[in-house]
Amino acid sequence: MKQSTSGILLVGGLFGLLVLINFLFFVDSPATDETEETGNRSSYQPTPYGTLAYYTLLEESGFKVTRLQVPYTRLKERPDVGALVIIAPPQRRNPTADEFESLTRWVEGGGVAVIIDRVIKLKFNETAADTQWGVPMAEIHALQPTVFTRGVNRVQLSQQATSVKVNGPAVVAHVGNEKAVVLADASIGKGRIVLLTDPYVVANNGISQADNVVLAMNLFDGWSGGTIAFDEFHHGFGASQGGGLMAYFRGTPAPWMMAQAGLIALVAVYSYGRRFGRPVPLRQERRTTNLEFVSGMANITRLARARDVAMQNIYLEFRKRLCRYSSTPSKTETPRLAAAVARRAGLDERELGRLLMQCEQVMRGRTASDGDLLDLVTKIREIEAQLKL
């Protein structure tokens, strides 16, 4: 009893632990945990600070979009990608020097990099870009008529917006005011870079404000250069998380479900490996065969001259089978039973009725020799074989 109680307490404790783990890890954090500065800008995020709306809008507008979940060093493996959208990756996952070098070569080869971030500091050969804080952002408007500013009268920015300064041989400022530029682009080799200094313009909570959605869509107005890829590798999705099956399940409860299933399996093994309750006796093998049992009972019956008992054991079971065969009640009178069986099986009703009556008479104590008893049992077995009883 003590061991059984311990096992129950163990299983109960593990169940409580699993409930606690689910509570801690699977309850979504409130949206108020994110701010305009710390919000996750992933295109997977439907939160106010995510960019799922922009990704979906491009997709539903007929553009071929995808999510890049590999480092920039592997861009050469994706010849279908013509534009790369990089939206405010977390600082702890900023691209490495090797990645930036690969990105530079990719842009020079004809790719388009759309970088949307408040902090931009980069250098592409002769072109350099740097953002500045504390610049007046009042009355942001189109600085000149370009493809990017078509239909844009007013752009709504957040209070954290910055201004970008781009130095290079082929730089065009599109949106800003007399003291700030928030949207600019520059040609780099065969490709170009587009710089937007406020993710709020394309975020779920800002894309519907003022003419932000028009500006966001103008970034790819008339685009026919291939697939538009959103960088998700630097938001934590992809090969950096281990790859393989676990990378596919990342961000879902599946890994914890697998761990819980393994824990439950260990508990089951532990339970079956320990004894709960009294010992179960070992199975005793039979030392006699069925033939020996039958022979022994027959010998006892013969010595006791209990032919009626022997006949009772054989006849009653035979009669039950006849009743099932003929679909008659078990208490049916013998003549009616014989008639029903004979009618269905095509037997002689008188012979079958005589056999049944003789068996019942012996069973009730009528004197019969061993030969008579053998004849009756032989006829019973013949009928059982014929009727397949």
Mean pLDDT by groups of 10 residues along the chain of 389 residues: 58 69 55 76 90 93 92 90 92 87 91 92 82 81 91 90 87 89 91 92 92 92 89 80 53 71 80 69 70 65 67 82 87 87 86 86 78 83 84
> Residue 164's beta-bridge partner residues?
131
| 323 within 8 A of 329, measured Cβ to Cβ | yes
- 185 and 316 part of one domain: no
Q: How many domains does the chain contain in total?
A: 2
Give the SS3 label for residue 121: strand
Instruction: Select from 183, 215, 241 the last residue of a domain.
Output: 241
Q: What is the CATH number of the domain that holds 204?
A: 3.40.50
Residue position matching structure tokens 């033939």? 291
Q: Determine the pLDDT at residue 251.
A: 56
- Can you tell me the distance from the alpha carbon of 159 to that of 61, in angstroms, rounded to the nearest whole number? 30
- 47 and 121 part of one domain: yes
User: Would residue 317 count as lying in a domain?
Assistant: yes
Q: Determine the pLDDT at residue 248.
A: 54
DSSP state of 244: H
- Dihedral sign for Cα atoms in the order 379, 382, 388, 389: positive
- 50 and 176 part of one domain: yes
- Can you tell me the distance from the alpha carbon of 38 to that of 309, in angstroms, rounded to the nearest whole number? 94
On the 0-12 / 13-18 / 19+ scale of CB atoms within 10 A, 127 is buried
User: Would residue 171 count as lying in a domain?
Assistant: yes
User: Would residue 225 count as lying in a domain?
Assistant: yes
**Contacts for 367 with CB less than 8 Å, ≥ 6 apart:** none
- 50 and 155 part of one domain: yes
- Other CB atoms within a 10 A radius of the CB of residue 60 amount to 9
Tokens of 319: 């009669």
Domain that holds residue 187: 34-241
The bridge status of strand 191-196 relative to strand 181-188 is: antiparallel
DSSP state of 288: S
- 204 and 91 part of one domain: yes
| 174 within 8 A of 143, measured Cβ to Cβ | yes
| 186 within 8 A of 174, measured Cβ to Cβ | no
User: Would residue 263 count as lying in a domain?
Assistant: no
- Dihedral sign for Cα atoms in the order 365, 369, 370, 376: negative
- 70 and 165 part of one domain: yes
User: Would residue 262 count as lying in a domain?
Assistant: no
- 232 and 300 part of one domain: no
- 195 and 340 part of one domain: no
- 114 and 175 part of one domain: yes
User: Would residue 270 count as lying in a domain?
Assistant: no
User: Would residue 301 count as lying in a domain?
Assistant: yes
Instruction: Select from 183, 213, 241 the last residue of a domain.
Output: 241
- 216 and 334 part of one domain: no
- The DSSP string of 162-191 is -EEEEESSSEEEEEE-SS-EEEEEEEETTE
**Which amino acid belongs to residue 28?**
D
- 305 and 372 part of one domain: yes
The bridge status of strand 112-116 relative to strand 191-196 is: parallel
> Residue 122's beta-bridge partner residues?
129
User: Would residue 5 count as lying in a domain?
Assistant: no
Q: Determine the pLDDT at residue 297.
A: 64
Question: Which residues in 79-116 are b (16+ Cβ under 10 Å) and which e?
Answer: eebbbbbbbbbeeeeebeeebbebbbebbeeebbbbbb
- 38 and 167 part of one domain: yes
On the 0-12 / 13-18 / 19+ scale of CB atoms within 10 A, 156 is middle
